[in-house]
Amino acid sequence: MDSTVRKRLIDVAAKRVPADLVICDAQVVNVFTGTIERADVAIVGNLIAGIGSYTADTCIDAAGRYLLPGLIDAHVHIESALVDPSSFAQLTLVHGTTTVIADPHEIANVCGLDGIDYMLASSENLPQDIFFMLPSCVPATEFEHAGANLDAKTLAQRIGHPRILGLGEMMDMVGTISGEKYILDKLAVAEQAEKLIDGHAPDLNSSAIAAYAAAGIHTDHECATIQEMHDRIALGMYVLLREGSACKDLRNLLPGVTPYNAHRCLFCTDDRQPSSILKEGHIDNHLRIAVSMGLDPILAIRMATLNAAQCYHLYDRGAIAPGRKADMILVDNLKDFTVSEVITNGVPYRNHAAQQTLDPRVSSRVNIGSFSQKSLLMPLRSPQVRVIGIQSGSVVTTSEEATVSLDHDGNFAGGEDVVRLAVVERHHATGHVGLALLHGYGITQGAVATTIAHDSHNIIVAGDNDEDMVLAVQKLRELGGGIVIVHNNRVLDALPLPIAGLMTNEGGAFVDEKLNTMQSLARNTLHIHDDIDPFMTLSFMALPVIPHLKVTDMGLFDVDQFTHVPLEITR
């Protein structure tokens, strides 16, 4: 800090000179002491000078409203909101989220360093502070084709960026626990730069999680049970309680938060679409849920602010105290947490104009090889098959068995609520097409296809007939990426996603309106089941690091065995 700025900050705190801005008559929540003080808060530039009784030419009258530190989302993939960083900030700032720790591994899987550089450049000089964790697993596994390969040498080129806080979620649990050299090299990149390492460790038992923690893993956001949460905290890890659009673990984990372990708990969304943000909120929604379940309001606020700041070594924020960053929000009460005013960088936030430019480095990223109805033929030696089973409200799938019908050539011809699922490689025109069968999706007389297919983001398409599936893929190639619905050999609707096939710069309201229309078509015309999200659910069917059965462009993948398996069951 410049000494002149420091001197002015001290003079204002000592009441020798007036502040630049005062928030008057607020109930100030102190996350250090757990108390609430009715006072003014003085601001100099983008910093807090003091709490007490202060004067300034400009005053925001809090009128007894509660003043909280700005909220922090400790782990999110901005790409999952389907909008660029500027539009994401527009969506979430009004809900009080002033700081975001993002993992850009979605766009990195498509565009490599170009994608990371785009996210850094497009998030500069926003009223919301967006930090990044450098994607650690691109590709997520060796059992699929991604658009890039970020090895340790490549990661070292960006680890020193001031807004990169460390290494993103280490999804390769097997390689980490076994101490594989390629993982150790990546961990060393973060360690040598004195930066952090995020985790991703669903279903690990006590001995495995100890090995995982010994690798230097700092956090985990994949806890589904209280026991998993307690196991990780006992080893010194932070646990991120997640409430996203696809994965909702917050209510399961909150009963496990105690006065003794709460300092190791923080909030994150991971994946949250515009409709969820617009209707339910962002981290403010976590606060509402936590308090409704009996958590002390100030403890919940601390988890949404100070704990996240300390976890990620952002010691300049997370609390209302002298010298800290002037990121604060006013709410009417500590039950509903309705945000009425946001102060970011010491300035009252007013809706900013989202950027509208497209970066050629990350556009037109659909490059598929030959693809036709022949690519979808599924010859089976037996009608007894392995089937991916959808579980409502979860990205965890079941590994099921089913008896399906075959045509006269021995190809798959149908089953009871069983449809064809395909992943088409879209980065290098290899012509790879992985095939599987999906139960519980419910689609009839149509197809849904998208370039959002975690984590390598090839094209994933589901349908009950070859013609519609091929048309859907062809439309995606024409658009340069997005989401497409086809019915009876006609494209019903499409959401173009020109940024890496993952995002648009048209804003959150546009995405929300388009998705609402398309979800209605998917349910009412294609009869996709009401209890699942027709697009987000599909996008997770290609994620080979979440149990139990998935599909990549190389075929059906058993996550528990961590290997590809045949469609047929032979005994």
Quote the CA–CA distance of 241 and 252 in Å, as a whole number.
9
The DSSP result for 103-120, as a single string, is --HHHHHHHTHHHHHHHH
**Which pLDDT does position 245 carry in this prediction?**
84
Q: How many CA atoms lie within 13 A of 52 on its CB side?
A: 11
Q: Give me the residue label for tokens 């025109």.
A: 429
In the block, residue with structure tokens 């609520």: 417
- Whether the ω angle into residue 455 lies within 30 degrees of 0, i.e. cis, is yes
pLDDT at 547: 87
Q: Are 544 and 140 in contact (CB under 8 A)?
A: yes
CATH class of the domain whose range is 3-67: mainly beta
Instruction: Provide the CA 159 distance to its chain's centre, in angstroms.
Output: 20
Cα–Cα distance for residue pair 476/484, rounded to 1 Å: 7
Contact present, 354 and 128 (Cβ < 8 Å) = no
Given this model, what pLDDT does residue 538 score?
Answer: 96
The one-letter amino acid code at 259 reads: P
Beta bridge partners of 101: 131
Residue 199 near residue 236, CB atoms below 8 Å: no
Tokens of 429: 């025109």
- The H helix count followed by the E strand count for the chain is 17, 29
* Count of other CB atoms within 10 angstroms of residue 106: 28
Element (H, E) at 232: helix 226-234
Domain boundaries, the chain: 3-67, 69-353, 363-564
State the virtual CA torsion across 176, 181, 184, 189 in degrees, nearest 10.
Answer: -140
Per-residue confidence in pLDDT tens, the chain, 571 aa = 889 999 999 999 999 999 999 999 999 999 999 999 999 999 999 999 999 999 999 999 999 999 999 999 999 999 999 999 999 999 999 999 999 999 999 999 999 999 999 999 999 999 999 999 999 999 988 899 999 999 999 999 999 999 999 999 999 998 999 999 999 999 999 999 999 999 999 888 878 999 999 999 999 999 999 999 999 999 999 999 999 987 889 999 999 999 999 999 999 999 999 999 999 999 999 999 999 999 999 999 999 999 999 999 999 999 999 999 999 999 999 999 999 999 999 999 998 877 667 899 999 899 998 899 999 999 999 999 999 999 987 788 999 999 999 999 999 999 999 999 999 999 999 999 999 999 999 999 999 999 999 989 999 999 999 999 999 999 999 999 999 999 999 999 999 999 999 999 999 999 999 999 999 999 999 999 999 999 999 999 999 988 899 999 999 999 989 899 999 998 6
Q: What angle do CA 87, 280, 264 make, to 5 degrees?
A: 90
At residue 237, the pLDDT reads 98
Q: Cα separation of 421 and 436, whole Å?
A: 5
CB 365 within 8 A of CB 110: yes
Tell me, yes or no, if the two domains 3-67 and 69-353 fold the same way.
no
Fold of the domain built from segment(s) 69-353: TIM Barrel (3.20.20)
Cα–Cα distance measured from residue 407 to residue 202, given in angstroms and rounded to the nearest whole number: 40
> How is residue 496 written in tokens?
């173009």
Strand (E) or helix (H) holding 290: helix 283-292
- Model pTM score: 0.94
